[in-house]
Structure 1
Amino acid sequence: MNNNEVDKRDILDKEPFSYKLTKDKKIFIYWNGKQVLILKGKESQRFLDKIKSADVKEVQLIMAKITGNFKHGNEKDNKIK
């Protein structure tokens, strides 16, 4: 499955996720500028290994999956019909 099938609404193109690596190898993950998760130890190293060879959109998808802040397509559509 490619990224276009996963992110059908192109939300990850806007790069809502970011991260910061600290000197003590903690990783702070942010969504729209708000801190949502801290990774440390083995989790931190696994994240770094996953993103090492990933492109920007893949990194966004990895962070979305780790944080759980990713739409699965089963949410109700709030648009007036």
Structure 2
Amino acid sequence: MGQRPQGFDYTISSDGAVRIRHHGKVATTLRGRRAADFLEDVDGEDDQLLMARVTGNYKHGNERVARNHPRNR
């Protein structure tokens, strides 16, 4: 399998929005129900993976290989 995601952190603003950063740059901002759901789930054991999935930054290295697989043609 690939490497585990790293470099993510998050902050909660005064209006309740959650800003997820990846290596210091804002990757996404969650508001409303999505922010509330994220904050419920973030107490889990693998916060980095959760933040990577929420931002869509979790596929690295195997996209080309998977695209060329006979099952995906």
TM-score range, shorter chain: 0.7 to 0.9
SS in 2 for 1:70: coil
What number of residue pairs does the alignment pair up? 65
SS in 1 for 2:27: strand
Segments of structure 2 that go 5 or more residues without pairing to the other structure are: 66-73
- Shift of residue 32, structure 1, vs aligned partner: 1.0
SS in 1 for 2:20: strand
What's the TM-score, normalizing by structure 2? 0.75
Whether 1:75 aligns to 2:63 is yes
Please give the alpha-carbon distance, in whole angstroms, between the structure 2 residues aligned to 1:24 and 1:47.
15
Pairwise CA RMSD: 1.9
Whether 1:35 aligns to 2:23 is no
Deviation string 1:27-60 (CA, Å, 9 cap, x unpaired) is 00111111010001000000001112x12xx110
What's the TM-score, normalizing by structure 1? 0.68
- Equivalent position of 2:69 in the other structure: none
